[in-house]
Amino acid sequence: MINFRDFTADQKHNFNVEAERCADIARRSRNDVTFCGLSAVRLLGITEPKYKRKMDTAVQVCVHKPGQRTRLTGVHFIMWTLPFNTESIQFGEDVIEVVDPVTAAAQLLRYVEKEEAVVLFDALLCRNARNREQTLNDLHELLHVAQRFPGKLKGQWALQYTREGTDSAMESRLRLKLVTNGFQCPVVNHQIVHPQTREIWFADLAYPELRIAIEYQGFDFHSSRASLAHDSRKVTALQGTDWNVLPITYEEISSEMAWNRFVDTLTTLMRARNASENYFVA
């Protein structure tokens, strides 16, 4: 059962647009159709990765063999011979069948770079995801089957760097960028209890032994007064517990000069906290 309360505004928009297109295809098809790939990702509310090439705008439908493909306009058929589960989504008076989230993500591997495959898998295992443990097991099982499929090796690489409990795609990209720049992989959403107030805070990324927290300042979350106030309280509280908090924005991650400055700051702070060389080995 999909919980639309967990959808962002963009995800709700993508869902409505894709559901309308899929319902139209289902009405026009003489056969039962199961939607997959990008269509399924949008219908299931999974955060989309960035694509290495322009995506086909057609609705994606899953078939087991070439003979099941038809000349239905507006459809891109994806051959998928591996077993999968399906989910029914109610959209008005229409019922739309989609593949399971793990299958949908695996079908997108052919379209993304390996770093974005990590973002995709993180999205399946985010804090509000259903059945995270089951999903992680399903990913392991799918990526280690004997049968080959497009993007399988890329998915195996990405699974090594995938982490449960993330909050956003940019936090996933930031974590991976730290690793590729030679830092030890930080802990995701590390829980910190204030010793006096007993308030519970979650650091986006953290090196707990060094008491260093990295906070991604995303526009979506920090676009209201309430979120800004929450962020301010969080930083103040963490600083008061002898944690060093390093905020970082999208612009700083994207700018080479700003990123190098951030790396220098983090490195200096780690050395001041007597970090071992292990913290600087990916």
3-state secondary structure 251-275: HHHHCHHHHHHHHHHHHHHHHHCCC
Kindly state the tokens that stand for 216: 């991604």
pLDDT of residue 68: 84
- 30 and 99 in a single domain? The answer is yes
- 114 and 191 in a single domain? The answer is no
**Where among 161, 184, 201 does a domain terminate?**
161
Q: What is the pLDDT of residues 86-117, one digit of tens each?
A: 999 999 999 999 999 999 999 999 999 999 99
Classify residue 99 as exposed, middle or buried by CB count within 10 Å of its CB (0-12, 13-18, 19+): buried
Q: What is the pLDDT of residues 125-175, one digit of tens each?
A: 988 766 676 788 999 999 988 789 999 999 999 999 999 999 899 999 999
pLDDT of residue 221: 46
Q: Which amino acid is at 186?
A: P
Q: What is the pLDDT of residues 235-279, one digit of tens each?
A: 777 776 788 999 999 999 999 999 999 999 999 999 998 877 777
pTM above 0.95, yes or no: no
pLDDT of residue 55: 74
- 140 and 230 in a single domain? The answer is no
**Where among 141, 161, 181 does a domain terminate?**
161
pLDDT of residue 222: 45
- 70 and 192 in a single domain? The answer is no
Cα dihedral angle (223, 229, 233, 235), rounded to 10 degrees? 30
- 76 and 29 in a single domain? The answer is yes
Number of Cβ within 10 Å of residue 66's Cβ equals: 8
Whole domain around residue 94: which residue ranges? 4-161
Helix (H) or strand (E) holding 202: strand 200-207
Q: How many domains does the chain have?
A: 2
